[in-house]
């Protein structure tokens, strides 16, 4: 049987998931990845239920659950740590990025070829070229044009994992004036992140400098936040500017298709980017396995564009609320009111 050649540019979450889902009996798949090895430092990614279904289709949900942790509840807190609103975890599973990549990698069949190194010029003559090369995708640049290039937001994300689990009274997301800080258990460690406007970057942010800036910025936060930041070190932390992509009306044209951040990089405020990358990959793989190319790509556009573009927008709106500056006192008053109302509703339904 004639095998169709599929070139996947990028062996991150989206690229590996697609390589794991394509039928090895029909497709001759090559994954091109510039990263020489899996990242050593990686914070927790929250997997929503739809992403867990995608992991189940790849046969690795059990392993992700056993190596990750179930996120049960959290709270929105003021900088001093007072809870403004309590939230249920809605069945989320937290897994570290390196662990997720390792498990996705283990689901890729041996028949898939791997090419190490950065791709600067796309290989030609493939039956299908897949852009799974993240927010700064060269596939999107080459086929969708310069106007589709990634854009830096004004926000810095500084994050890491430190040893020792946090106390339940400290877990949650702290909302200040133009800044957020998150803190949650991750295995036997603590996953933390901070985000605020900064002129650092947009490329090559120095981690030590970003950590110093973060310590100064959060110096008046609760003792739990200060203690995490005093333990964090450049070796167990990451710092980067957040980049997003402009809206696209379709993710496939001709015999080229985009998935994951290459198609719809969003701000991390809803914790959905990696989840949607997995769903893109599993859906696209299934469509390609079952339908001719043109029909499969048309169906992929129909299934994925509107949903992910709405999420991209919602993430950015959520980021605007969480990182509010001038409107912060009104925002906090509103959040507290919602918190009080939901407590009253809960106590009424118990009695
Ligand atoms: C601070 C922060 C927190 C986040 N938290 C969450 C969360 O809790 N939950 C969630 O679902 N999402 C979260 N996300 C989003 C998530 O990280 C991304 O959406 C996800 O990584 C996208 O996966 P991807 O495979 O599309 O892209 P990437 O993960 O960027 O993978 C792209 C791959 O392509 C490779 N590559 C790029 N260019 C080339 C080239 N030219 N040649 C060869 N290889 C190339 C890269 O090395 C990389 O391995 C967060 C993001 C940030 C910044």
Tokens matching residue 179 = 């800044």
The whole-number average pLDDT for the span 80-88 is: 85
Spell out a b/e string for 67-83, using b for 16 or more CB atoms within 10 Å of the CB, else e.
Answer: bbbebeebbbbbbebee
Report whether pLDDT(345) > 70: no
Rounded distance, CA 189 to CA 43, Å? 10
DSSP 305-330: HHHHHHHHHHHHHHHHHHT-STTHHH
Res 346: pLDDT: 47
Among residues of the chain, what percentage have pLDDT more than 90?
A: 77
Helix (H) or strand (E) holding 227: helix 223-231
> 35 pLDDT exceeds 70?
yes
From 7, 8, 13, 191, mutation site for ligand 1 pocket: most ligand atoms within 8 A of C-beta: 13
Q: Give the pLDDT confidence score for residue 92 in this predicted structure.
A: 87
Average pLDDT on 198-204 reads 94
- Residue 333's pLDDT is 73
For ligand 1, residues with CB inside 6 Å are 9-15, 32-35, 45-46, 118-119, 132-134, 138, 157, 159, 193, 242, 260-262, 268, 271-275, 277
User: Around Cβ 232, how many Cβ atoms within 10 Å?
Assistant: 22
74 has which bridge partners? Answer: 87
Pocket test for ligand 1, best of 9, 12, 311 (most atoms within 8 A of CB): 12
The rounded Å distance from CA 230 to ligand 1 centre is 28
Residue 268 vs residue 264, higher pLDDT: 264
Digit-coded pLDDT (tens) for 274-313: 999 999 999 999 999 999 999 999 999 999 999 999 999 9
Inter-residue contact 121 to 141 (CB < 8 Å) = no
Topology (CATH level 3) of domain 4-328: FAD/NAD(P)-binding domain (3.50.50)
pLDDT tops 70 at residue 349 = no
**234 Cα to the center of ligand 1, angstroms:** 20
DSSP string over 231-290: H--GGGEEEEEEEE----S-SEETTEEE-THHHH---GGGS-HHHHHHHHHHHHHHHHHH
Mean pLDDT of 198-219: 96
CA of 39 from ligand 1 middle (Å) equals 12
Parallel, antiparallel, or unpaired: how do β-strands 4-9 and 27-33 relate? parallel
CA of 344 to the centre of ligand 1 (A): 40
Which pLDDT band holds residue 90 (cuts at 50, 70, 90)?
Answer: low
Mean pLDDT score across all residues of the chain: 91
Identify the band that residue 19 occupies on the pLDDT scale cut at 50, 70 and 90.
Answer: very high
Which DSSP string do the residues of 60-114 spell out, in sequence order?
-HHHHHHHSEEEEEEEEE-TT--EEEEEEEEEEEEEEHHHHHHHHHHTS-TTSEE
pLDDT band at 135 (very low <50, low <70, confident <90, very high): very high
- Determine the average pLDDT of the residues in 31-51: 90
CA–CA separation, 155 vs 153, rounded Å?
A: 5
Looking at residue 61, its pLDDT comes to 97
Higher pLDDT, 294 or 332: 294
Report pLDDT for 304. 98
Region of 227 please: left (phi>0), alpha (psi -120 to 50) or beta: alpha
Distance (angstroms) between ligand 1 centre and the Cα of 134 equals 5
Coil, strand or helix at 299: helix
C-alpha 33/C-alpha 343 separation (Å) is 49
Domain ranges of the chain: 4-328
């Amino acid at each position: 049987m004639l095998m169709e050649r599929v070139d996947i540019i990028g062996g991150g979450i989206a690229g590996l998931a697609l390589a794991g889902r394509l039928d090895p009996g029909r497709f001759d798949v090559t994954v091109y990845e510039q990263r020489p090895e899996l990242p050593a430092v990686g914070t927790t990614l929250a997997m929503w239920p739809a992403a867990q279904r995608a992991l189940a289709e790849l046969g690795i949900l059990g392993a992700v659950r056993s190596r990750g942790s179930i996120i049960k509840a959290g709270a929105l807190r003021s900088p001093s740590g007072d809870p403004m609103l309590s939230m249920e975890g809605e069945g989320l599973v937290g897994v570290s990025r390196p662990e997720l990549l390792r498990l996705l990698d283990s689901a890729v069949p041996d028949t898939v070829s791997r090419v190490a190194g950065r791709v600067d010029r796309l290989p030609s003559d493939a039956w299908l070229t897949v852009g799974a090369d993240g927010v700064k995708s060269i596939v999107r640049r080459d086929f969708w044009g310069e106007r589709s290039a990634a854009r830096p937001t004004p926000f810095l994300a500084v994050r890491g994992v430190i040893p020792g689990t946090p106390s339940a009274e400290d877990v949650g997301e702290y909302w200040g004036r133009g800044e957020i800080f998150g803190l949650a258990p991750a295995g036997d460690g603590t996953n933390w992140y901070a985000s605020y406007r900064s002129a650092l970057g947009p490329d090559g942010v120095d981690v030590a400098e970003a950590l110093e800036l973060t310590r100064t910025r959060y110096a008046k936060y609760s003792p739990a936040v200060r203690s995490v930041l005093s333990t964090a070190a450049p070796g167990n932390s990451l710092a980067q500017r957040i980049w997003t992509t402009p809206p696209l009306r379709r993710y496939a044209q001709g015999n080229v298709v985009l998935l994951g951040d290459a198609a719809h990089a969003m701000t991390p405020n809803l914790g959905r980017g990696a989840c949607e990358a997995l769903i893109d990959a599993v859906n696209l793989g299934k469509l390609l396995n079952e339908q001719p190319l043109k029909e499969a790509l048309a169906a992929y556009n129909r299934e994925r564009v509107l949903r992910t573009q709405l999420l991209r927008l919602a993430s950015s709106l959520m980021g605007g609320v969480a990182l509010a500056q001038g409107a912060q006192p009104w925002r906090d008053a509103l959040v507290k009111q919602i918190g009080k109302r939901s407590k009253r509703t809960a106590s009424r339904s118990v009695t």
